[in-house]
Structure 1
């Protein structure tokens, strides 16, 4: 009997990963329950099992008794129920502790059965996950026995079991697949900033990198689309758009709305809404099938996007009439026109040579306000580096360190030189240079 107990404990421990002490305690409780049933006695019964030898010592009102001889068939059945209940409770705790810290991970499983439109997925020797219809992709149809990759979405500890909710429609699945297929993502060279997904239809994913030698979008797509194709195949042909992340919403929104080309933007930072102006031939692309493109772009950026069609004539009129107002909105209180009638007759000077403010000296700080601006020519626009689109205070400091802190220096650096600055990319560099050219043309037209 003692050897049988030890073998039983060892088998349950090995197969179900239940602690041996829990099993021994369960057997003792089962024997006590059976004895109470046999003797019709609630108190005064004690059973102990030696953990090393497996010997059983049973006492009833201080007297020893042999549980094997005292227990009948009904009492033994009661004890067996108590034992199995104890083992199930312990096994449930083991499964819960194993999976509770693995939410968001990807698992390989097997489709075990169908249940009310959902799928029961076998994840291991002891665990089963459930994937409801709402967490499945409309492109997929699974049969029993199929191998399947799922992401663990939720773990619930219930009274009788542990419910593992798994999904193939969650955004986390796309993240995990990118980590598996793209070494730069798994090595944290490329960072996934945001994911917007409508399972079975389309996914937009925004990526970024701090390594200027790495093209984050190209790294995710691969040569001739080889890397992104592996992810698409796993999702049964779901389309995936990879866009470049930018902290500036002026740059991010046009990126998120690709392949549509954006004509102009009108931003409301308080309400986080944007009116996106597009030409009529780009309207359908911007909205997408059943509004899918603009819906995903809105989710990706966190802004509410309103697509506004506009004709070429209206667009040109908007640009002509709203140039000064848009400049005021962008530069705020730091935009100023400095005029000086006396200096108007001096030698010609490019009005943007002193586009950016230089650090004031101690003497300048104490001088009257009129003397502070004597160096500026008529029509000069005074502004800071961080007033340019996509340039934060940190990026402005890096530009100053690189001695790219004047109009001439910015134009001389060009797209390639600006894109080499940490925090800027080619698109940001183009926007900066376009803004400088726009201001130069505006000032020149006013002089004429």
Structure 2
């Protein structure tokens, strides 16, 4: 493997911004800063006028493999991810068969090693029936345990109190929760069906998957975590009301314990209920996109460090599926290719600093999940990098989408920044135009 020298970059890492060079050798960052002499074997990339940051680590994706590959696959969606500056992902268990035992977990690792362009890890999914599998989990074998405390897929809803108590008492990894109260949602769905039949307006999704359902479930998760001292990470916060349940400026211990962290997703920061009339089922997701008040409150919580991490919850469905009526159109949005670019829109608007974007998409993810040698631009760390041109607009068209589903709610939008390059383990995975199909990803390791 030849070395790569990135020159004249605006390097942003750990809140420090400096002009300089970065040398990659054997997949890792060998040297940072100042002017670095190019080794004889080096490929030189001139990054004049561009921002060099750690690649985004997306801790919440659904890449649909195994069993749902008509929607997406590890190969297609990881390629779209690197085109969006995402160098690593953590993938969810609601596939077919579900990832609810060690054999299924390891099968996904084997498949990723064959096809993934980006680095990878996988969650072990919780059910009402697999507490013993969770207890037996090697803490280094999975990024976390995923608990659907309000589920929309299969039998993965965990609603037995004694099982939830056992999971929070015994999980050897961080617990990532989807918090929505299913009985609350079911009652609202029944009321909507009684009023509208099958013709429920899509714009009512934010009221049906309601704030009350989110608040009730999030309170339960936090209470269980406090009872047992669990490492709880609450995914995709969608309401202003939930934010009061979390503290700002949390400090992790060396194993990421002793706190409760919260996450926002890019679509809850970008869209609001005013977009349903234009986009309909394209932005139908769970938890739902709610009001403009919720959107701006979550954005403010990111600034105040109440929200610790930003992720995507990338969840593709086919275009044909999304054309169904309210109860038939599935929830989920493809997002990895434009996630970082959508966050830079908040920078251009003056709402988020570049430091905050890097912290929430890279550094904080590495700390929360105890990742080994990733998430920072540090000498000796893996060279997982994103190069961003903040001054070059990017028009999203159907033709430049890399998702297998071939649609995005961003089609027709022009975003004010461009991903000019992505490196995965020192390999140039995306050059600003073309994403490689080469298998570059590695299984992520943990300091646990």
* Fold agreement, TM-score > 0.5: no
- Tell me which interval the TM-score lies in, with the shorter structure as reference length: under 0.3
Structure number with higher helix proportion = 1
* TM value normalised by structure 2: 0.25
- Structure scoring higher RCO (CA < 8 A, sep ≥ 6) equals 2
